[in-house]
Amino acid sequence: MAQVCLVGSEDVNLRYELLSRETARNALVTYDLREPFENTIQLETVSLGAAVALLNDLNWYLVRYTDAAFVKVPSISGSEWLSRELAAAIRDDELAPDDTGRFLKVYGVVEDAGGDSETDSPAARPPALVEPMLLTRTGDTIPEYDLRDVADTLVVRVTEAEFGA
């Protein structure tokens, strides 16, 4: 099984934008959509190949309405996600999974990212992903996220090209 997480752009409501478009809605209709983080959609596919294929099918919408797309494959890492580009490279046998842990984009996870306190209760809102930080893993650990105080972090493995961009 592989999980896909789509991170909406700041100025859009990702769920609305995807589900209000017939083609995107049809591509997503068979999946159980969740929102683990504010303005995200997460779903589970049968494999890495199916996850990459779904992202390719949704490409027109992803370019317009998302900041990022991640894939998590337990056989590669139980806790770290792969960027869309890295997932495609692994699927296409351009990179071995064991060669993917060096370049990272680490997002902070905050419990209360703000919002309209009169209509939103903090308990009703999911946590938010904030300011990604690029890090290089040199050993078994990674440097600490230090852009702000956060409750947790979300680690995404990226390609060398994404890291250097």
Q: Kindly give, in sequence order, each residue whose CB lies less than 8 Å from that of residue 18, ignoring residues fewer than 6 positions away.
A: 6, 24, 25, 28, 41, 58, 61, 65
For residue 1, name the pLDDT band (cuts at 50, 70, 90).
very high
Can you give the pLDDT at residue 121? Answer: 58
| Mean of pLDDT values over 131-154 | 91
| Mean of pLDDT values over 41-60 | 97
Residue 100, φ and ψ in degrees, nearest 5: -115, 0
Summary mean pLDDT of the chain: 92
Q: Is the pTM of this model over 0.75?
A: yes
Can you give the pLDDT at residue 141? Answer: 86
| Mean of pLDDT values over 79-103 | 96
Q: For the chain, what percent of residues have pLDDT higher than 70?
A: 93
Structure-token match 């596919």, residue found = 45
Domains of the chain: 2-96 (3.30.70), 103-164 (no CATH)
For residue 32, name the pLDDT band (cuts at 50, 70, 90).
very high
Give the chain as a DSSP string: -EEEEEEE-TTS-HHHHHHTSHHHHHHHTTS--B-SSTTEEEEEESSHHHHHHHHHHTHHHHHHHEEEEEEE-TTT-SS-EEEHHHHHHHHTTSS-GGG-SSEEEEEEEES-----TTT--TTTSPPEEEEEEEEE--SSS-PPP-SS--SEEEEEE--HHHHH-
Can you give the pLDDT at residue 61? Answer: 97
| Mean of pLDDT values over 8-15 | 96
